[in-house]
Amino acid sequence: MTKYGICEQSIVPVRKLPSNQSEMVNQLIFGDLVTILDMKDSWCLIITKHDLYEGWVDIKQIMILEQLQFNEIARSMPFFTSDIYSYASTKSGKTKHLLLGSRLPKYNQNSFLISGEKYIFKGNIQTKPSKITGNDIVNIAMKYIGSPYLWGGRSPFGIDCSGFTQMVFSMVGIKLKRDASLQVEKGEVIDFITESVAGDLAFFDNSEEKITHVGIILNNKKIIHASGEVRIDNLDHQGIYNEELKKYTHKLRIIKRIS
């Protein structure tokens, strides 16, 4: 019988294999929905609802939901936290620590519900704009400035390049896949960098012509991306130029406009 769950912790590591010693390939953020595909001891193989990404998590870090609860949350309008840090608590004193981009299930008037338990939310929220602009995307992206690079990360306290773009776009109601090599499949190709606008995605490849990096284009020939940390660098038709290192660090492959 298929089981369902929700992440009710701030961050949960998703691992390649069912072991705490295994590589972290992804993270769940509070409010992420998952379907449980398999079990092995205290580990469950999950696939995420928002991007269909698989990995192993400790079953103790997932709240099991009935299918009806899962479907109700999945159908409800998504609300995201828009502060680097916020929190929510119940009347009984239970507290949840929430990071930027956390999903608030069944949110309504400063409260949300998990399995019938009501949490009062203390913080600001982000919803899908009626009309998405490049400024909407850039304003959210700038909140991650200085966040350290972390392979598989999706939070302001550790994030990778595609996790960064995925989280930013999710908060304006646009779904992206987890990896840069999959994100590049979406959107309209922009033929020349001079035609790009703030909010476009720039993709970069390696010597084998595989897409390995992604960032968000800003105005004035700049790009914001996760490389060592979330930072702003120069961008031209060749790629990303790091002023500190005095060299190009990433070779431009393609620019996409996502709508």
What DSSP assignment string belongs to 32-97? -EEEEEEEETTEEEEEETTT--EEEEEGGGSEEE-HHHHHHHHHSPP-EE-SSEEEEE-TT--EEE
Global pTM reads 0.95
State residue 157's pLDDT score: 97
The CATH number of whichever domain residue 45 belongs to comes to 2.30.30.40
70/102 same-domain check? yes
Query: Among residues 125, 150, 185, which one ends one of the domains?
Result: 125
The CATH number of whichever domain residue 235 belongs to comes to 3.90.1720.10
**Burial letters 231-240, b for 16+ CB under 10 A, else e:** bbbebeeebb
187/144 same-domain check? yes
State residue 77's pLDDT score: 85
The two most distant CA atoms of the chain are separated, in Å, by 57
Number of domains in the chain: 2
159/249 same-domain check? yes
Q: pLDDT 10s digit of each residue in the chain, 259 long?
A: 789 999 999 999 999 999 999 999 999 999 999 999 999 999 999 999 999 999 999 999 999 999 999 999 999 888 999 999 999 999 888 999 999 999 999 999 999 998 888 999 999 999 888 888 999 999 999 999 999 999 999 999 999 999 999 999 999 999 999 999 999 999 999 999 999 999 999 999 999 999 999 999 999 999 999 999 999 999 999 999 999 999 999 999 999 999 8
208/168 same-domain check? yes
Query: Among residues 104, 125, 146, which one ends one of the domains?
Result: 125
State residue 95's pLDDT score: 94
118/169 same-domain check? no
Beta partners for residue 81, in sequence order: 125
Residue 7 CA to its chain's centroid (Å): 14
Q: Give 248's contacts (C-beta < 8 A, 6+ positions apart).
A: 238, 239, 240, 241, 242
243/140 same-domain check? yes
84/173 same-domain check? no
119/66 same-domain check? yes
3-state secondary structure of 2: coil
CB atoms within 10 A of CB 92: 6
State residue 116's pLDDT score: 85
Helix (H) or strand (E) holding 161, with range, is helix 161-170
145/200 same-domain check? yes
Q: What are phi and psi of 180, to 5 degrees?
A: -60, -40
State residue 129's pLDDT score: 85
112/195 same-domain check? no
Query: Among residues 99, 125, 151, which one ends one of the domains?
Result: 125
Which two tokens mark 123? 């913080």
203/108 same-domain check? no
How deeply is 229 buried, as exposed, middle or buried, from its count of CB atoms within 10 A (0-12, 13-18, 19+)? middle
Distance (Å, rounded) from C-alpha 251 to C-alpha 257? 18
Asked if 181 and 211 count as a contact pair (C-beta separation under 8 A), the reply is: yes
Asked if 187 and 256 count as a contact pair (C-beta separation under 8 A), the reply is: yes
Domain with 208 in it: 134-257
7/59 same-domain check? yes
